[in-house]
Amino acid sequence: MWADPVQADRLKQMLDTLHRQKIDLADEVLIVNPGGYIGDSTRREIAYARSLGKPLRYTHPVKDGGDRG
């Protein structure tokens, strides 16, 4: 599915929407970030959660000025 750019983009958009909906329902957001890594999509999800005032927790310390807040 990732080989076809159109399908990959559609899937990514669907997953982004699903993740925002889950954040909407959550009391708290757990950021799973092995090794402290946070990618662009996760940064956007963190920003969205913050905009809603959701508490955030991380599984690992964030590297290099990541998105800890």
Task: Tell which wins on pLDDT, 64 or 58.
Answer: 58
Average pLDDT, integer, range 1-6: 78
Lowest mean pLDDT among 13-17, 29-33, 35-39, 44-48: 35-39
Residue 4: what pLDDT?
Answer: 87
Q: Which helix (H) or strand (E) holds 56?
A: strand 56-58
Contact 69, 31 (CB under 8 A): no
Cα–Cα distance, 23 to 32 (Å, whole number) = 14
Contact 50, 24 (CB under 8 A): no
* Residue 25 pLDDT greater than 90, yes or no: yes
Both tokens assigned to 10: 């559609």
Residue 65: what pLDDT?
Answer: 59
pTM, two decimals, is 0.81
Contact 51, 41 (CB under 8 A): no
Residue 48: what pLDDT?
Answer: 98
